[in-house]
Amino acid sequence: MIKLKDLLPNEDLVLYSNLSVEEVMRRIKENVGPKVRSNYWNRPISCKSYEGDVYGNIFDIKKVIDYRNSFLPVIHGIVYLDANGKTGIILKMRLAPFVKAFILLWLLFTGLACIGFLIKGIINYNNILKGIGKIFEHGVPVPFFLFLFGCAITVIPFKIESRKSIDFFKVLLRANV
């Protein structure tokens, strides 16, 4: 069964590793380079898998990719020692704030257009029954397609990239969920 959390561009999970906290942080630091402020076309080539900040047992990172994907997850992580002596790694993956704001505005305006068309359809219910083809003449389905497109173009690339990152951390840290 599909849960609501599976349809949102968020991932929250805890990985457990038998490695020490120090070893986990060492492996993470080895794979994280500094943030690079540049545009896509003149980006320097990095030998690290991720870029961002690592401080203490906390990290804020983003995957280094050689293609465009605005829906790449920003990963916030915390490494700790749990009561059983295992190392826990909390991973929270979110959209970048600007992308989140843009998508929320997109969904807000297309959602309002959908509601407007639904209200118009309820008011003109008798006219709609006369000819279902007239609905398509007035472009009624367009806001609904745009709303669904906004949802799909956000969730699908985010989930693909978050799965890649989860798999990377599982292998790197010899961890499981």
- What confidence tens digit (pLDDT) does each residue in 138-155 have? 556 788 899 999 999 999
Q: How confident is the model at residue 7 (pLDDT cuts 50, 70, 90)?
A: confident
63-71: long-range contacts, CB 8 A cutoff, minimum separation 24 = 63/161, 63/164, 63/165, 64/33, 68/40, 69/157, 69/161, 70/96, 70/99, 71/9, 71/95, 71/99, 71/153, 71/154, 71/157, 71/158, 71/161
pLDDT at 65 over 90: no
How confident is the model at residue 45, as a pLDDT?
A: 61
Enter the pTM of the model: 0.82
Q: How confident is the model at residue 47 (pLDDT cuts 50, 70, 90)?
A: confident
- What confidence tens digit (pLDDT) does each residue in 21-40 have? 999 999 999 999 888 765 55
- What confidence tens digit (pLDDT) does each residue in 93-138 have? 999 999 999 999 999 999 999 888 778 777 766 665 555 555 555 5
Give me the number of domains the chain comprises.
Answer: 1
Query: Containing domain of residue 130, as a range?
Result: 1-177
33/81 Cα distance (integer angstroms): 25
pLDDT at 46 over 70: no
Nearest to 65 by CA among 149, 152, 168, 155: 168
89/137 Cα distance (integer angstroms): 54
